Structure 1
Amino acid sequence: MPGLVDALVIVAVAALVIVRQSRATRIGTEKRWWLVPVILAVIALRDPAMIDPDHRTESMLLLGAELLIGFAMGAAWAWTTRIWAEPDGAVWSKGTKASVAVWVAGIALRAALFALGAVLGVQQDTSALLLALAITLLVRGGILAWRAQSLHSAPERSPAYGDDMSRPAWKERV
């Protein structure tokens, strides 16, 4: 049953991420951008079957490769995401065609890892994929927050009534 729950969580998070990537989204530098990846990592790490006890070395190598792909995919995704600042200081992001290519390459690499594990006879679980997704989101969120802080400027003072009016000089009277 945990495999089914993990698979549903992966599909739900991937759908949410893809929908959010395809439209402009405001980046809040104060937000807890790390919260969802940490929750996903906790869900993944609660599964004791992440490492196949019969193929410990191969399983750990596959897990390491999966995590490395997740890290690289998160970094590449963040650097291929377009960010910009509005005049009011709000920072926005939107995925590009290169971001889609990063997703396609990441999925292809993960499928290749799964096929390699099947050839080696390693029992694979969805928790490794969930952990890699958490790392992908954590790295992407961190890099985007860092990039957004460099663009995030203090909003300019908005004009008030009478700003453009000339003021008479003040004269002191004794």
Structure 2
Amino acid sequence: MNELLAAVLALAVLALAVYRQMRARPVNEGRAFTLPLVIIVIGVLQGHLIDQDHASLSVALLAAELLVGAALGIVRAYTMRIWRDARGTLWRKGTTWTIVAWIAAIAARFGFVAVGSAAGAALETGSILIFLGLSLVVQAAVVGYRARVMDSSPAVNV
């Protein structure tokens, strides 16, 4: 997959993720992992995740980027509103803070690219797919956890 196609795919996934998170949707843990896992696999299969000329720096930047992506997934999960309707179905919906957390994730990604570029290391688009996918997987897992906690104790308003 070429760089342009990977970048377009990442933007499309990001737009879809934000759009879906800002709409009220039932909490469904199983399906929430499908697209992010596919995105991670595409990012890994794209290869070239490490700049061989700056291997140590590339590995450090990739690791830091993935940690930040996971952390921002946790943050976004806690910005989501979760509630139970009259029939007992659990729902979730993003808030304004969810958008702010997405903006922080985008800024963080640009920050990693800027640091890598300033040091002469190239961050490939495969890493953005992995960053995005991992962030979405972590977010889905934490939203699922919050829903399970709410499900096990109906008096709790998460």
TM-aligned CA deviation for residue 5 of structure 1: 2.3
TM-aligned CA deviation for residue 68 of structure 1: 0.9
Matched-pair identity in %: 36
Amino acid in the other structure paired with 1:21: Q
TM-aligned CA deviation for residue 125 of structure 1: 0.7
SS at match of 1:40: helix
Q: Is the 2:47–2:126 contact (alpha carbons within 8 Å) kept by the matching residues of 1?
A: no
Amino acid in the other structure paired with 1:27: V
SS at match of 1:37: helix
Q: Is the 2:33–2:137 contact (alpha carbons within 8 Å) kept by the matching residues of 1?
A: yes
TM-aligned CA deviation for residue 80 of structure 1: 1.0
Partner of 2:143: 144
Amino acid in the other structure paired with 2:94: G
Q: Is the 2:27–2:92 contact (alpha carbons within 8 Å) kept by the matching residues of 1?
A: yes
Q: Is the 2:116–2:122 contact (alpha carbons within 8 Å) kept by the matching residues of 1?
A: yes
SS at match of 1:124: coil
Structure with higher Rg: it is 1
TM-aligned CA deviation for residue 59 of structure 1: 0.6
Partner of 2:156: none
Q: For 1:10 and 1:47, locate their aligned partners in 2 and report how far apart those are by CA, in whole Å.
A: 13
Amino acid in the other structure paired with 1:105: A
Partner of 1:26: 26
Partner of 2:36: 37
Q: For 1:65 and 1:109, locate their aligned partners in 2 and report how far apart those are by CA, in whole Å.
A: 10
Partner of 2:51: 52
Partner of 2:3: 3
Q: Is the 1:47–1:127 contact (alpha carbons within 8 Å) kept by the matching residues of 2?
A: yes
Q: Is the 1:90–1:152 contact (alpha carbons within 8 Å) kept by the matching residues of 2?
A: no
Higher helix share: 2
TM-aligned CA deviation for residue 143 of structure 1: 0.8
> Unaligned stretches of 5+ in structure 2?
153-158
TM-aligned CA deviation for residue 35 of structure 1: 1.6
TM-aligned CA deviation for residue 48 of structure 1: 2.6
Aligned residues: 152
Partner of 1:161: none
Q: For 2:94 and 2:102, locate their aligned partners in 1 and report how far apart those are by CA, in whole Å.
A: 11
* TM-score normalised by length of structure 1: 0.82
Q: Is the 1:52–1:123 contact (alpha carbons within 8 Å) kept by the matching residues of 2?
A: yes
Q: For 1:26 and 1:79, locate their aligned partners in 2 and report how far apart those are by CA, in whole Å.
A: 16
Amino acid in the other structure paired with 2:12: A
Q: For 2:57 and 2:12, locate their aligned partners in 1 and report how far apart those are by CA, in whole Å.
A: 29
Partner of 1:95: 94
* TM-score normalised by length of structure 2: 0.90
Q: Deviations over 1:55-90 (max 9, x none)?
A: 001111110111011101100000111110112111
TM-aligned CA deviation for residue 9 of structure 1: 1.4
